[in-house]
Structure 1
Amino acid sequence: MKKNLLTLVLSGTIAFTCSPYVLAKNVATIQSNTDYSQLVTKRQVVDHLLDEAVKAFKSPARISHAGFTAKMPSNMEVVTNRLLEAYKLEPYRTDLLISAANAQIYNKNVDKAIELFQQALSVAPEDVDLHAYLAVWQHFKGNQAESNKHMKVLAKLNKGKASDIKHIFDTVDSVVSTPLKIKAEKGLLEDRGAIVTLGYALNPDGSMHEILIERLMTTLKLAKENPDALIILTGGVPKNNKTEGKLMADWLVGKGINPNRIIEENYATSTVGNALFSSYALARHKIKHATIISSASHVRRGQTLFEIASWQTGPQNITFDTVSYPDKPLEQLKQVSDSELLGIYRDALRTYGMWSYRSYPLESR
């Protein structure tokens, strides 16, 4: 019965309103013959669809390469479809369109995401976030005239937000134009410096992946060259009751690094989390300069997010640079790819505070 009613609701063949006369005429029949537990309301259907979206979003189908931990594209298609089905039933819910659009960003289908953002904008033409999203993704696509159009509207609606988006553009441009390097510059960490090593997904048995060990080898060398530098180890996706932060700390201590130099950050589950949680440690210790260590194909995203996180939390005037473990030849990574740039912009917006998913119970920064 429920399944049949669910199908009817989604196909639009059930009317959810009736006149008072019809209701009064049939009330006795309804009371005597209908099992209310079998009724499926429009709200219940939407809740069911969103629950399915959450299940797809939280499914264990995760991938990890070069530090990228995200949902499989097939998962994001399920998320998008369920959100759009819910939107058909509740067309005032622009949050559902925004969440679906961001699911398509994760799916690397920027054109579809832009289409959904514009659909939402037709309902809410003065929505500040929608103009911000469209300014960023039109900029990413190289449609500068369209991006400028949304920036102009954004400046009228919220001058501060427009300034922030411009700051994000400038930060990304600066980071991606800086050449990658595998050796540290001397002297940068001498005065209140910190080394920040980004975690990498552990093996299923809780052991460290080879890539994470290579990042630690790079960290160990830099730590020995800069004995006064603080060391922040960030990563908290648990595997077999172990976290990256804890295992990294144990590894470095086993190689002779003083544990008093080390701060374990065992809560971050993404690069966004790495930046947000670690930035507070940088602020607390009034760090002047931090060197970020990660894989070469991931480190530019890491630096961008740390720049944005620290821009908001402090310390003021902190500077960053990076040292890469060359998971790929640096010559191949000299020019940032569209895929890498998409990840940089997507996570820059999240770090800045624009939630990707805002449709309860599917809520995620």
Structure 2
Amino acid sequence: MRIDVPRALLGALLLALLTPTPAQAVSSSLSSVSAARITVDVPGFGVYALHPDLVGRGLSPAPQEDLLAAAVFSADYEDNAAARDAALAALDPGRHAQVSWALAALHSPVAAPDTLPPTAPIIVLGERLNDDGSMRDNLLHRLRAARELADARPLATVVVTGGPTGPGGTEAHAMRDWLLANGLTNPLLVEDESRSTVDSACLTHRLLPAAEAVIVVTSENHLPRAVVDFTLAFGPQVAGVGSPNDPPTAMPGKLWTYRDAVQWFLAPGTCLRAA
């Protein structure tokens, strides 16, 4: 059966198909965005596309400084020294220092706590609770390591960080209760909104805006990633303690560390972009 479509209607349909939606039309001289593609014009290099494995979805156009900072980490992930160095050189002095410190942390061993002053805050990262509100062995290991470190540093403030995850409750509240029940006498702060390592770093910095050195306590296989995130928040004086993984887990690659660095600068709705 043949259906005749009036030319005017056909033209309107074609125009609708070819006309970008508002989301598709978002573009600027700084960036272009699709489901997994962001480009940035890097002075001295040209147009650079961030690696799709690092971008993911849900990102949006960002200020030039944020795009350039993200490009530094993406190019480093790709071993593209020319793009990395050009993007780094284009940053303003403050952002250049922040990104350089994080790059150094990404490629260096984690510093030991004894490299920092005895008053450096101790930050314990949370982990998802069981559905009944109890803590998994992995989180208990982190708390025991933090408790031991606090005993050796009685002047250091302890921060527990972790928001509500699932029906079990809020990670930071369970961590606080355990530490108090197990004799912690150090000053104690609670950050109970974060849902990621990036959020923990940013929101903890809001609690401790004057801190220039911090010690991060988390599971051994998570520690290098966490140190990079907290370096982005606090600067270069970040040490760490890695507690045993239970069950034992192999050390991961650096993909998620690079993803965190890109998210720090580009993801809308994160602590940093909302500040």
Question: TM-score, structure 2 length as denominator?
Answer: 0.70
Residue 240 of structure 1: SS of its match in structure 2? helix
Which residue number in structure 2 is paired with residue 344 of structure 1? 257
1:224 & 1:255 partners in 2: Cα distance? 11
Query: 1:291·1:321 contact (CA, 8 Å) conserved in 2?
Result: yes
Partner amino acid for 2:241?
V
Map 1:245-260; keep pairs closer than 5 Å.
245-258=172-185
| Higher RCO, Cα 8 Å, sep 6+ | 2
Contact (CA 8 Å) 1:189, 1:226: kept in 2 or not? no
Residue 79 (structure 2) aligned to one of 142, 146, 149: 142
- Offset at residue 140 of structure 1 (A): 1.1
Per-residue CA deviation, residues 245-279 of structure 1 (Å, 9 max, x unaligned), is 11001001111113x62111111111111111111
Measured in 2, the distance between the counterparts of 1:196 and 1:355 equals 25
Aligned length, in residue pairs = 244
Q: Which secondary structure does the structure 2 equivalent of 1:307 belong to? A: helix
Alpha carbons 1:102, 1:113 under 8 Å: kept: no
Residue number among 229, 237, 243 corresponding to 2:164 in the alignment: 237
TM-score (norm 1): 0.55
Alignment of 1:1-365 (within 5 A): 14-16=13-15, 91-94=24-27, 98=33, 100-101=35-36, 111-112=51-52, 129-151=66-88, 155=90, 159-160=91-92, 164-165=95-96, 167-179=98-110, 184-185=113-114, 188-190=116-118, 192-240=119-167, 242-258=169-185, 261-283=187-209, 286-287=210-211, 289-311=213-235, 319-327=237-245, 333=251, 339-340=253-254, 342-351=255-264, 354-357=265-268
Identity of aligned residues (%): 24
> What is the distance in 2 between the residues matched to 1:201 and 1:115?
25
1:135-167 deviation line (CA, Å, top 9, x unaligned): 431221112224345556xx2xxx41x862564
Specify every segment of 5 or more residues in structure 2 that has no aligned partner in the other structure, as ranges.
1-10, 39-49
Q: Distance in 1 between matches of 2:194 and 2:171?
A: 10
Give 1:93 deviation, angstroms.
2.2
SS of 1:15 mapped into structure 2: helix
Q: How far off is 1:241 after superposition?
A: 5.9
**Equivalent residue for 2:43?**
none
Paired amino acid for 2:25: Y
CA contact (8 A) 1:200 1:244 kept: yes
CA distance in 2, matches of 1:289, 1:217: 21
Distance 1:198 1:208 in 2: 13
> What amino acid does structure 2 have at the position aligned with 1:293?
V
The CA RMSD measured in Å over matched residues stands at 4.1
**Residue ranges of structure 1 left out of the alignment (5+ in a row):** 1-11, 18-41, 43-85, 104-109, 312-317
Q: Is the 8 A contact 2:70 2:261 kept in 1?
A: no
Partner SS, residue 206 of structure 2: helix
- For the residues of structure 2 that align with 1:299 and 1:114, how far apart are their CA atoms? 19
Shift of 1:168: 1.4
Report which of the two has the higher share of helix: 1
